[in-house]
Amino acid sequence: MHKNITKLLAGIACLCAFGIATPSFADAPAKTEAATTTAVAAPAVTPVPDAAPAAAAPAPAAAAPVAAPVANKGDTSFMMISTLLVILMTIPGLALFYGGLVRSKNMLSVLMQVFMVFALVIVLWCIYGYSIAFTEKTAFFGGFDRLFLNGIWDPAKGTFAAAATFSKGVVIPEFVFVAFQGTFAAITCALIVGAFAERAKFAAVLAFVVLWFTFAYLPAAHMVWFWTGPDLITNAATSASEALKAGWIWQKGALDFAGGTVVHINAAVAGLVGAVMIGKRVGYGRESMAPHSLTMTMIGASLLWVGWFGFNAGSSLEAGDVAALAFVNTLLATAAATLSWVFGEWISKGKPSMLGGASGAVAGLVAITPAAGFVGPMGGLVIGLLAGVICLWGVNGLKRLIGADDSLDVFGVHGVGGILGALLTGVFAAPQLGGQGIFDYVTNKMSADPYSIGHQVWVQAQAVGTTIIWSAVVSVIAYKLVDIVIGLRVPEEEEREGLDITSHGEQAYHG
């Protein structure tokens, strides 16, 4: 035991050293040109309402020189409803979607993992996660100004802090922004458990989530979404100086409206690494492992689709035109992906299935996430159609090529769909294809510079590559540490009996 504890401490020390050292790269020259005219989208942010999309989730708004802007009650209500919809996506949406896909003896274990991961991450988010993700420090990590959500309420002045949006002079209560972004962190971590469902120790899942959330999710969220907001940008000089304070990927000009990189690719890579390191389920490839309740899966998929409107439209941070664009894209792309998956399956396998319809819907939701507020409806339609057939290949052909037992096809849907959506965002955000283009906060309107599809796709590819590498490295280290201290996998006899009884002492069904 002493040796195991020593190894754990050594591993944590390495991770901390890695975290402290990496921010020094922020001193490297950033691509200010793209950053000065563009804004990266994030899971709680998006373009300028009634204008063109902006991006990365903004940090708390700086005090206005004359009078601080006041949050609009309509925007505040919209964001609170969007937050509730994202909670609905996770519990019960994702939990039921995953629960129906496993065997009946593991139903409650999956529900419990999703439920507990959500609760755990929300607590961590409010203690330190929000501060690291959305305050200014380096291009890779934020600071500690908002530890324990300190500083949002000022008892001396009797005032609450506000968070910037994508419009100058428009804010929302910072507590609402905290809650909205916290739900993104929680569902991202919960997505991972589907990759190693039916065989992981419950304690190991929770321990891994703590490490991965801290060292993978928070840096990714900061790199992609953090910026200081639009209000301080008044000319080219302030645009350049504020851009240098933003996250590393934001500085490059990557577009991610609601989390294609930070949420889907990030979680999918962590899940795939886990599936490989934990190993295949006992009897995989020899015994039937069919979903025990496609009814539950269909209910879960439907709740995901409904909740995703809060996920995507809410990322605009305002109840305006861009939120409406994200809303219609979420509706259309998902419907298109459902059709293309089902018809593709019908052609290739001879029969359309309910599982195919539910999977196609999720694939469409994933693929449109990074593009929702940046592309026009016809761009969203094409993204959805492509997502359905390409993710169908992802859970069949690609899965066989990789050879890993990704239990619920987390990588095939979220990884493949996230990568596809992120890259196609660079294509269909082009104004000539009906997209929103790049917003220039100096002139406060769409950039007059020509939009280069090739350049933007290259920037998107860099964001995708960075996310894959970062998540993979952190995941390998985190899984290894947990395996050394706790052990990742339940014993074979417990796996055969089912995790509901052996891990939680209860059953989903009786009689």
> Could you give the CA distance from residue 307 to residue 297 in angstroms, rounded to a whole number?
15
Q: Backbone phi, then psi, for 150, in 5-degree steps?
A: -65, 140
DSSP state of 314: G
ω into 49 cis (within 30 of 0): no
Which among 89, 145, 150, 80 is positioned nearest to 114, based on CA atoms?
A: 89
> Position 397: which residue type?
G
| Residues 11/18, Cβ–Cβ less than 8 Å | no
Residue among 331, 340, 278 nearest 308 (CA): 331
Superfamily name and number for 73-504: Ammonium transporter AmtB like domains (1.10.3430.10)
DSSP, collapsed to helix, strand or coil, labels residue 173 as: strand
pLDDT, tens only, 414-439:
999 999 999 999 999 999 999 999 99
Q: What is the pLDDT of residues 169-201, one digit of tens each?
A: 999 999 999 999 999 999 999 999 999 999 999
* Predicted local confidence at residue 470, as pLDDT: 98
Nearest to 225, CA basis, from 249, 189, 241, 252: 249
Q: What pTM does this model have?
A: 0.88
Cα separation of 301 and 271, whole Å?
Answer: 19
- Residue 511's pLDDT is 72
How is the chain split into domains, by residue range? 73-504
> How much is the pLDDT for 19?
40
* Residue 2 CB partners (closer than 8 Å, separation 6+): none
Could you read off the pLDDT of 356-376 as tens digits, one per residue?
A: 999 999 999 999 999 999 999
What are the residues facing 438 on neighbouring strands?
A: none
Q: What pLDDT does residue 67 have?
A: 76
pLDDT of residue 2: 40
* Low-confidence residues in the chain, pLDDT < 70: 1-66
